[in-house]
C-alpha cells in the first residue's frame, strides 16, 4: 500500500538540513523557506531559520535568519529589516512563539551556551545559560499547566525543560539530541545516533534505534483514521508513519533522497493542512489526509494473516525445541547404565544440538577493578566445566563506536581458566569459564547493562545464550581505597579506612545540612555507589556515632573524594571536581525529597582556573575582533569585485549599443563616473552614451 503525493515539484538546489520553515509573510499564503547548501562558500557558517508571528500588531510572519555571529529578523513582504543582533556565541536553532502572555511573542534563539529571547523590537527579554550546545528548541506544555514551557534538545544528551528562565527538569537520553518536536500532547525526540522516541510528561513511552538517522518529525493524520500519526523523515529517504503512543509502524514510504524536513501547513491555501516533505535534492512533495480510513485496509491486505502465520511458526519452533530436549534426555536416561554409550550418543547429536548440563548457571559480579583502579569490572562465570565462547555487552552511551562491547576469547585450545578482558592476552587460553570485562563509564549516570553470554562446550558450534540485565549505580566509578570483604560494615570500620588514605584530602569542599535519619544516608550510599559491602547504620541511631567518613577514589583520574556525614546533620563533600560535587548534592537532595537546600562551598582551585580562563578569553575576543574585521574587509572586497563584474557586463551591453569612437568615448566617461561614485551619471551614460 502506498500513498501518492497530491503535489510535487523540485527546486533543483541542494538544501541544508539546518533550515526549512514555512511562513505566511503576507499574512495569508504560506511560503516555504529553505537554506541552500551553497551558502557555505565563505566559511563554515551554520545557519538556522524560522518564521512566525513576532509582532503583536502585524498579521504577517517574520523570517528570522541566524548565523554563527548574528540574527537578522526580516519582514519578507515589505523587504524590510526588523532588527539585527550580534550573537557572538552563534545561533544553532530558533523558534517564534509565546510562553508568557505579558511578554508577548518572542524569538527564542538557542546557541552554543545560552538561549535568548527577543521581542519584536529586538529587546533581549530572556536569557538562559544552558552551558551546553542547544541543538533544538520547542515550545510545549510539558507539565500540563496550560502554559508553554521551553524544551531544549542539547548536545550533552539531555532534554532540558525551562519555565521561562527557571529550570524545571531534565530527561537523560542515550545520545546527543538532534531535535525535539511536539506531537499533540506528546514530545518526540530525535537523537544523532539514529534513535527516535516519545515522552508523555517525563515518562518515555518508547524509543527505538535505527541504522539511519531521522531528520524530522511531524504530526499528521495521513491514513485518515481521525487520529494524528507520527510521521518521521529519515536520512535514508524513508518516511515512516507510526502510532505515536506505541511506535508501531503503520506505513512506510521510500524515496531515494535524504529527507531534511517535514512540515504541516495549508500550503496551497485550500483550507486544510497538508504534509510536506522536503528532500536534500530540493524535491518537495505534499500529501493529504486520505479520504477513506486506510488503517483497516493496510491490516486487511494479508499482512495480518502473514503476521499470524509468523507467530504460529515461532510458537511451533519453540514447541519442537522442548520436544527434542525431552527426546534427548529420555534417550540418555535409558542408556545411562552404560556411560560409554552415553558419551557416544552425545557425540552423535553434538553437532545438531546445543547441549549443556540443565543446571548450568551463570553468575555475574560487578565491582571496581581492584588492581589497576581504572574501571568497573563485570565478571561472568559458569558453575561447571562449560565454557563462555563470547559475551556481548549492550549499553547505550559508554562505548566509543556504538552500543556494544564484544569479548571473544582466543580460539586456540588450552586449559580452562580466567580470561580477563580485552586488554590482557598474556595467558593464551581458550576454554574459559570465567570472563572479566572492564567497563569505563564516562559520565556519572545510572547505566543499564544487557549482557548476552554464549555458553557451551569447547568444540561445539551451538551455544546457549544466557541473558543478564544489570543496572550500574550512578556513582559506580568511585571506589574504596582498600579491599574489604563482602559482609556488611559498620560506620567505624568504614571511617577507619580513611585513616590509611594515602591521598591528600582535597582542599575544595561543599557543606550543607540535611536533617534525615542516618539509615537513609546508608541507603543512599548503598544504592548509589558500587561498594563491595553494604554500610550498616548503628543499632541505636541517635547518638551512637560521631560521623561517617566515606573516602573514595575516582576510577577515572585517581582523584580523592571524601564524603562525611556528621551526627549534627552536616554533610561535607570534599573534592576538587565541582561537577561531581554538584551531582552528589543533587542526588542526595533528590533521594531525600528535598526541594530547597542551601550550602556553602569553597573551590579555590576552580576559581583561580576561572580567572585564568577569563583573562585568556579576553585575549581571544580581541583577536576574534581583529579576525572578524579582516573577514569583513575580504567580504567587502569580494562584493566590490562582483559588482564590478556586473558593471562590466552591463557596460559591455551598453557599449554594444554604440559603435566605434563613440563607444570608446563612452567607456572613458563611464570610468570617470565610476570613480566619482556618481550613480546618476552612470545611468545617464548607459542610457544616452554620454
Partner 1 sequence: MELELTRVDYNLVGITLQNSLKLLPAKKAKEQQRFVIGDQDGVVQLLSVKKDEVIVHFKTVPGNIITSVQLGGSTGTIHDKIFVAYDNQIVGYNKKGKVFLTFDTNLTEPIKSLCVTGNDLIVCGNHVYTHYKDCKESGSYLCGDTIVDCNVLCPHNTSRVITILACSGRVLRLLEHCRVRKLIELESIPTVLHVPKNAIGNKILVGFSDGRVTLFCVNPMLTEVKQEILIASKDNLSAVTCLDTFDLYGDGKEELIIGRRDGTIQVFTTMLENNEFEMDCQQLLYEENFNESISCVFGGCIGVAGYAELIACTYTGKVFGLTTRTIGDILTDAKSNSNVVTDASQRIQKLKSEIEYLEQAVTREREKYQLSTQAMSSGLSAISAMAINDSISLSADDATYILSLELPSPIENILVQSDVVALEMLDVEGNSAVVSKSECDKNDGNILLCCYRCQVNTNRLDLKFRTVEGHHGTLRVYITPNIQPKCCQLKTYTIHPLSLHMVVHNYDQTRPMNTLTLKGNFSQGEMHSWISNCLPEVPERIDSNDENVLMFKNVFLGTFLICVYSKGEAEFRSDNVTTISIVKDFIAKKATTKHIKIELTINVHDNTTEAFVKLIEPKFLFYNNLLKDNKTLQALLELNVQSDDEYELLSERYKMLLQNKRDIQEKFRKESNNFDRLINLLTYFYVHKNKLKGIDVKNRIETIKCSLKNSKSNSLVQAFSEI
By CB under 8 A, what part of segment 17-36 binds partner 1? 36
- The reply to whether 656 sits near partner 1 by the rule CB under 8 A is no
- The reply to whether 360 sits near partner 1 by the rule CB under 8 A is yes
- The reply to whether 404 sits near partner 1 by the rule CB under 8 A is yes
Q: Which residue of 271, 402, 619, 660 would you call a contact of partner 1, by CB under 8 A? A: 402
- The reply to whether 406 sits near partner 1 by the rule CB under 8 A is yes
Q: CB–CB of 353/462 below 8 Å?
A: yes
Instruction: Give the residue with the Cβ less far from partner 1, 341 or 583.
Output: 341
Instruction: Give the residue with the Cβ less far from partner 1, 378 or 562.
Output: 378
Q: Which residue of 359, 485, 500, 623 would you call a contact of partner 1, by CB under 8 A? A: 359
Question: First vs last Cα of the chain: how many Å apart?
Answer: 70
Q: Which residue of 173, 403, 444, 576 would you call a contact of partner 1, by CB under 8 A? A: 403
Instruction: Give the residue with the Cβ less far from partner 1, 320 or 505.
Output: 320
What is residue 432's three-state secondary structure?
strand
- The reply to whether 408 sits near partner 1 by the rule CB under 8 A is yes
Closest approach of Cβ 449 to partner 1, in Å? 14
Angle at 275 between CA 271 and CA 277, to 5 degrees: 140
- The reply to whether 648 sits near partner 1 by the rule CB under 8 A is no
Angle at 259 between CA 258 and CA 263, to 5 degrees: 170
Instruction: Spell out the SS3 assignment of 306-351.
Output: HHHHHHHHHHHHHHHHHHHHHHHHHHHHHCCCCHHHHHHHHHHHHC
Which grid cell is 283?
Answer: 524535491
Site for partner 1 in 309-328 (CB under 8 A): 309-325, 328
* Sign of CA pseudo-dihedral 294, 298, 301, 304: negative
Distance (Å, rounded) from C-alpha 655 to C-alpha 670?
Answer: 10
Closest approach of Cβ 239 to partner 1, in Å? 15
Closest approach of Cβ 5 to partner 1, in Å? 19
Closest approach of Cβ 409 to partner 1, in Å? 7
- The reply to whether 335 sits near partner 1 by the rule CB under 8 A is no
Site for partner 1 in 181-240 (CB under 8 A): 194, 209-211
Query: What is the DSSP code (8-state) at residue 57?
Result: S
Instruction: Give the residue with the Cβ less far from partner 1, 114 or 281.
Output: 281
Distance (Å, rounded) from C-alpha 325 to C-alpha 319?
Answer: 10
Span from 86-94, 221-229, 270-278, 306-314 in contact with partner 1 (CB under 8 A): 306-314
What is residue 544's three-state secondary structure?
coil
Q: Which residue of 4, 412, 611, 677 would you call a contact of partner 1, by CB under 8 A? A: 412
- The reply to whether 645 sits near partner 1 by the rule CB under 8 A is no
Q: In degrees rounded to 5, what are phi and psi of residue 299?
A: -75, -30
Q: Are strands 62-66 and 70-75 parallel, antiparallel or unpaired?
A: antiparallel
What is residue 222's three-state secondary structure?
coil
Instruction: Give the residue with the Cβ less far from partner 1, 137 or 398.
Output: 398
Distance (Å, rounded) from C-alpha 617 to C-alpha 188?
Answer: 37
- The reply to whether 425 sits near partner 1 by the rule CB under 8 A is yes
Distance (Å, rounded) from C-alpha 410 to C-alpha 430?
Answer: 5
- The reply to whether 409 sits near partner 1 by the rule CB under 8 A is yes
Instruction: Give the residue with the Cβ less far from partner 1, 41 or 618.
Output: 41
Distance (Å, rounded) from C-alpha 678 to C-alpha 660?
Answer: 25
Q: Which residue of 264, 349, 497, 601 would you call a contact of partner 1, by CB under 8 A? A: 349
Spatial CA neighbour of 598 closest among 512, 516, 514, 515: 512
Instruction: Give the residue with the Cβ less far from partner 1, 355 or 518.
Output: 355
Instruction: Give the residue with the Cβ less far from partner 1, 343 or 624.
Output: 343
Number of residues that bind partner 1 (CB under 8 A): 79
- The reply to whether 351 sits near partner 1 by the rule CB under 8 A is yes
Which grid cell is 566?
Answer: 556528621
CA distances from 36 to 32, 48, 53 (A): 13, 11, 24
Angle at 439 between CA 437 and CA 445, to 5 degrees: 145
Q: Which residue of 45, 270, 300, 637 would you call a contact of partner 1, by CB under 8 A? A: 300
Site for partner 1 in 457-476 (CB under 8 A): 460-465, 467
Amino acid at each position: 500500500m502506498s500513498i501518492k503525493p497530491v503535489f510535487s515539484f523540485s527546486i533543483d538546489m541542494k538544501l541544508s538540513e539546518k533550515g526549512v520553515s514555512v511562513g505566511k509573510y503576507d499574512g495569508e499564503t504560506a511560503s516555504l523557506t529553505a537554506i541552500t547548501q551553497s551558502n557555505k562558500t565563505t566559511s563554515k557558517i551554520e545557519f538556522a531559520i524560522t518564521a512566525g508571528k513576532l509582532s503583536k500588531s502585524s498579521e504577517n510572519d517574520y523570517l528570522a535568519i541566524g548565523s554563527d555571529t548574528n540574527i537578522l529578523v526580516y519582514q519578507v513582504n515589505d523587504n524590510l529589516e526588523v532588527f539585527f543582533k550580534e550573537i557572538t556565541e552563534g545561533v544553532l536553532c530558533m523558534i517564534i512563539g509565546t510562553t508568557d502572555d505579558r511578554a508577548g511573542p518572542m524569538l527564542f534563539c538557542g546557541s552554543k551556551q545560552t538561549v535568548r529571547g527577543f521581542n519584536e523590537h529586538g529587546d533581549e527579554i530572556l536569557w538562559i545559560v544552558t552551558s551546553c550546545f542547544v541543538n533544538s528548541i520547542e515550545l510545549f506544555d510539558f507539565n500540563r499547566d496550560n502554559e508553554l514551557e521551553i524544551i531544549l534538545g542539547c548536545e550533552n544528551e539531555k532534554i532540558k525543560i525551562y519555565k521561562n528562565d527557571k529550570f524545571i527538569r531534565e530527561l537523560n537520553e542515550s545520545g546527543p539530541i538532534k531535535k525535539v518536536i511536539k506531537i499533540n500532547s506528546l514530545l518526540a525526540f530525535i537523537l544523532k545516533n539514529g534513535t527516535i522516541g516519545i515522552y508523555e510528561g517525563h515518562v518515555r513511552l518508547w524509543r527505538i534505534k535505527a541504522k539511519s538517522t531521522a531528520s524530522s518529525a511531524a504530526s499528521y493524520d495521513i491514513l485518515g483514521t481521525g487520529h494524528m500519526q507520527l510521521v518521521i523523515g529519515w536520512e535514508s529517504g524513508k518516511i515512516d508513519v507510526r502510532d505515536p503512543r506505541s511506535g508501531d509502524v503503520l506505513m512506510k514510504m521510500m524515496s531515494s533522497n535524504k529527507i531534511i524536513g517535514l512540515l504541516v501547513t495549508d500550503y496551497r491555501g485550500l483550507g486544510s493542512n497538508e504534509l510536506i516533505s522536503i528532500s536534500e535534492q530540493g524535491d518537495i512533495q505534499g500529501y493529504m489526509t486520505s479520504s477513506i480510513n486506510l488503517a483497516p485496509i493496510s491490516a486487511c491486505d494479508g499482512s495480518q494473516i502473514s503476521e499470524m502465520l509468523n507467530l504460529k511458526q515461532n510458537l511451533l519452533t519453540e514447541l519442537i525445541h522442548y520436544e527434542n530436549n525431552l527426546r534427548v534426555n529420555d534417550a540418555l536416561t535409558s542408556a545411562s547404565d552404560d556411560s560409554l554409550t552415553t558419551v557416544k550418543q552425545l557425540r552423535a547429536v553434538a553437532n545438531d544440538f546445543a547441549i549443556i548440563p540443565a543446571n548450568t548457571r551463570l553468575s555475574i559480579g560487578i565491582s571496581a577493578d581492584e588492581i589497576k583502579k581504572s574501571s568497573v569490572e563485570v565478571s561472568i562465570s559458569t558453575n561447571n566445566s562449560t565454557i563462555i565462547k563470547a559475551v556481548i555487552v549492550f549499553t547505550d552511551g559508554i562505548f566509543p563506536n556504538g552500543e556494544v562491547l564484544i569479548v571473544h576469547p582466543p580460539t586456540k585450545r588450552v586449559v580452562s581458566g580466567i580470561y580477563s578482558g580485552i586488554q590482557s592476552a598474556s595467558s593464551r587460553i581458550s576454554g574459559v569459564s570465567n570472563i572479566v570485562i572492564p567497563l569505563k563509564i564516562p559520565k556519572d549516570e545510572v547505566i543499564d547493562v544487557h549482557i548476552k553470554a554464549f555458553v557451551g562446550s569447547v568444540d561445539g558450534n551451538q551455544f546457549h545464550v544466557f541473558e543478564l540485565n544489570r543496572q550500574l549505580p550512578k556513582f559506580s566509578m568511585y571506589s574504596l581505597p582498600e579491599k574489604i570483604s563482602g559482609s556488611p560494615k559498620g560506620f567505624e570500620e568504614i571511617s577507619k579506612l580513611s585513616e590509611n588514605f594515602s591521598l591528600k584530602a582535597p582542599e575544595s569542599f561543599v557543606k550543607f545540612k540535611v536533617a534525615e535519619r542516618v539509615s537513609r544516608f546508608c541507603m543512599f550510599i548503598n544504592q548509589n555507589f558500587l561498594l563491595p559491602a553494604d554500610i550498616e547504620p548503628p543499632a541505636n541511631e541517635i547518638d551512637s556515632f560521631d560521623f561517617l567518613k566515606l573516602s573514595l577514589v575516582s576510577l577515572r583520574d585517581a582523584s580523592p573524594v571524601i564524603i562525611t556525614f556528621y551526627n549534627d546533620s552536616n554533610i561535607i563533600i570534599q573534592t576538587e571536581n565541582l561537577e561531581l560535587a554538584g551531582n552528589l548534592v543533587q542526588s542526595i537532595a533528590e533521594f531525600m525529597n528535598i526541594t530547597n537546600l542551601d550550602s556553602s562551598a569553597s573551590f579555590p582551585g576552580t576559581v583561580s582556573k576561572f580567572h585564568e580562563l577569563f583573562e585568556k578569553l579576553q585575549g581571544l575576543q580581541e583577536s576574534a575582533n581583529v579576525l572578524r574585521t579582516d573577514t569583513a574587509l575580504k567580504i567587502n572586497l569580494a562584493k566590490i569585485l562582483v559588482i564590478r563584474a556586473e558593471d562590466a557586463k552591463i557596460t559591455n551591453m551598453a557599449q554594444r549599443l554604440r559603435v566605434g569612437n563613440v563607444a570608446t568615448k563612452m567607456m572613458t566617461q563611464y570610468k570617470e563616473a565610476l570613480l566619482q561614485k556618481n550613480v546618476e551619471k552612470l545611468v545617464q551614460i548607459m542610457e544616452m552614451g554620454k
